[in-house]
């Protein structure tokens, strides 16, 4: 292996470690919020009991409305059947919504996957990060990310589509030209490497106003 190849491998590995650390920080933040709400649950009950003892139904209603809003900020939005997919998808959905990017998800993983959680995390995380970055170039109101995941026979099918600014992207070799930095490129390389290692299929397609990545991973 050449010195240049070794340098590239080291940089990809470093990017991968940084990526995974970021994902797990996002997930931990989400669950920390959930644990905090559960910790306060008893106090919430005691407060509403006090209002009930006073016969103050209006105060109870306002308190319940406040709790409903608070719970919606930590509730699991997507439940695929796979805990790692749930964690990554929900953390990224939270990030997208914070950037005013609507996300539509239809994801179902009813079987135990053979691929590792690390590989699943890398694929979903990179795809979502790329979609969020592309969406930020659009005005609010024109942004949208669509995610679809399901089993097709014995293969896991993953599809990410995001609206894009301008026309079709220019294809360069097997990929598409990007204005992002080298971290973005390593993310794409990492996805390609995982799919190739798992003997899967990957397709990227750029149309007017939309970019779609489709992946099939055998699970036999």
CB atoms near residue 72 (< 10 Å) = 9
Whether the CB-CB separation of 62 and 91 falls below 8 Å is answered with no
Pairing verdict, β 210-218 and 201-207: antiparallel
CATH code assigned at 112: 3.30.565.10
- Residue 211's nearest CA partner among 180, 154, 165, 149 is 165
Q: Quick check: is 138 in a domain? A: yes
Q: Quick check: is 176 in a domain? A: yes
Which residue range is the domain that position 134 belongs to? 76-218
Whether the CB-CB separation of 127 and 85 falls below 8 Å is answered with no
Q: Quick check: is 87 in a domain? A: yes
- Stated pTM of the model: 0.65
CB atoms near residue 68 (< 10 Å) = 10
Q: Count of domains in the chain?
A: 1
Q: Quick check: is 156 in a domain? A: yes
Q: Quick check: is 175 in a domain? A: yes
- Residue 63's SS3 state is helix
Q: Quick check: is 111 in a domain? A: yes
Q: Give the alpha-carbon dihedral of 171, 125, 17, 31, to 10 degrees.
A: 170
Instruction: Going residue by residue through the chain, which has 220 residues, state the pLDDT in tens, using 9 for 90 and above.
Output: 566 666 666 766 666 666 666 656 666 666 666 666 667 777 888 888 898 999 989 988 888 888 776 665 555 568 888 888 888 888 888 888 888 999 999 999 878 888 988 889 889 988 998 999 999 999 998 999 999 999 999 999 999 999 987 655 555 344 444 444 444 456 788 899 999 999 999 999 988 789 999 999 998 7
Distance separating alpha carbons of residues 11 and 213, to the nearest angstrom: 24
pLDDT of residue 172: 39
Q: Quick check: is 80 in a domain? A: yes
Q: Quick check: is 130 in a domain? A: yes
Distance separating alpha carbons of residues 216 and 86, to the nearest angstrom: 19
Distance separating alpha carbons of residues 40 and 200, to the nearest angstrom: 46
pLDDT of residue 103: 93
pLDDT of residue 124: 92
């Amino acid at each position: 292996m050449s010195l240049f190849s070794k340098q590239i491998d080291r940089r990809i590995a470093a990017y991968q470690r940084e990526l995974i650390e970021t994902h797990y920080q996002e997930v931990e933040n989400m669950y920390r919020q959930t644990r905090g709400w559960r910790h306060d649950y008893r106090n919430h009950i005691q407060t509403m009991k006090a209002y009930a003892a006073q016969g103050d139904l209006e105060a109870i209603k306002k308190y319940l409305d406040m709790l409903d809003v608070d719970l919606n900020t930590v509730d699991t939005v997507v439940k695929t059947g796979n805990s790692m997919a749930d964690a990554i998808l929900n953390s990224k959905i939270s990030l997208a919504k914070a950037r005013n990017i609507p996300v539509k998800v239809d994801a179902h993983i009813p079987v135990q996957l053979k691929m590792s959680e690390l590989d699943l995390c890398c694929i979903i995380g990179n795809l979502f990060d790329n979609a969020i970055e592309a969406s930020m170039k659009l005005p609010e109101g024109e942004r949208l990310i669509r995610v679809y995941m399901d089993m097709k026979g014995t293969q896991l099918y993953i599809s990410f589509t995001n609206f894009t600014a301008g026309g079709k992207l220019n294809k360069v070799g097997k990929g598409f030209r990007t204005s992002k930095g080298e971290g973005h490129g390593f993310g794409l390389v990492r996805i390609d490497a995982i799919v190739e290692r798992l003997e899967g299929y990957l397709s990227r397609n750029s149309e007017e106003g939309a970019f779609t990545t489709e992946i099939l991973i055998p699970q036999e």
